[in-house]
Amino acid sequence: MAKFGLALVMILVIQGFVTFSKAQLKMGFYDQTCPYAEKIVQDVVNQHIHNAPSLAAGLIRMHFHDCFVRGCDGSILINATSSNQQVEKLAPPNLTVRGFDFIDKVKSALESKCPGIVSCADIITLATRDSIVAIGGPTWNVPTGRRDGRISNFAEARNNIPPPFGNFTTLITLFGNQGLDVKDLVLLSGAHTIGVSHCSSFSNRLFNFTGVGDQDPSMDSEYVDNLKSRRCLSLADNTTKVEMDPGSRNTFDLSYYKLVLKRRGLFESDAALTMNPAALAQVKRFAGGSEQEFFTEFSKSMEKMGRIGVKTGSDGEIRRTCAFVN
């Protein structure tokens, strides 16, 4: 009886291990079911990125916001199907996220070759990597096999996505909730080397930082004056866009970190990186280091982020249309 019990335990352990293994992300997940899946994604990216290099910034932001809410499951793509449905896409952090139409283009290309096989979550992850590479940025491994979530929640997006006005405590708490650390925070913030921001995301630093018509003392005063006189002319401006890394918004480089040290990051969250000794040490390291070192470390953090809370195996679904649950 004891031998039988031991054998049964061993069988269950082996079965559990097999189930666990099958449920993991892996490189080349679609090699048998859709052999050209990754090439199709890359081709669509390359067809569009040179005419619209800003797409890279839009996609990496979408990927980041998706992974911080219910994991990297494509839930940011889901549209509301009724007037009272509150989905992630409608939450304040996501109102200026771009790239939804592009993800639909990629999905259509894949569905025409391999219907019902490639998840929207994997499309976001692959397209983000390929777009960054296309503008001269780093590459990283993208193991695939993510499945799409069925739930998209407004409140979770509002509460879990790190805000541009977050202080260091807020940022490291939200990153820590996803299994990311100080180094990941500094590295992933480095994505601010590309893209633009609306004035409304930082104008309080220029015009009304503590509610008495003052400016943020942690921001370079000359830079504040320049922004107030040439770009964000009033606190009410919510349409003007400003480069996060002036002069090289489509170039993936180290200049973001140099701007942060000069107190010229646009967001409070940028300035927050200088308020903690460990974070500041990392900022200084990358500002004074080689681009290749930054690329290598950034790639590790991107791959780590891409594994947050993924749904695999029989969890979730493969959406036929990225904007709607099956």
- Binding-site residues for heme b: 192
**Dihedral sign, CA of 201, 204, 205, 211?**
negative
- Binding-site residues for Ca(2+): 66, 69, 71, 73, 75, 88, 193, 245, 253
- How far, in Å, CA of 78 to CA of 90, rounded? 10
Strand pairing class (196-198; 241-243)? antiparallel
Contact residues for 29 (Cβ-Cβ < 8 A; gap 6+): 122, 143, 144, 145
Backbone angles phi, psi at 31, to 5 degrees: -55, -35
Contact residues for 72 (Cβ-Cβ < 8 A; gap 6+): 63, 66, 121, 124, 125, 146, 305, 306, 307, 308, 309, 310
Marked catalytic residue, from 48, 50, 63, 65: 65
User: What tokens does 293 get?
Assistant: 């070192």
User: What tokens does 25 get?
Assistant: 């992300």
Respond yes or no: is residue 50 known to be catalytic: no
Q: What dihedral do alpha carbons 10, 16, 22, 25 form, nearest 10°?
A: -120
DSSP SS3 for 78:
coil
Active site residues: 65
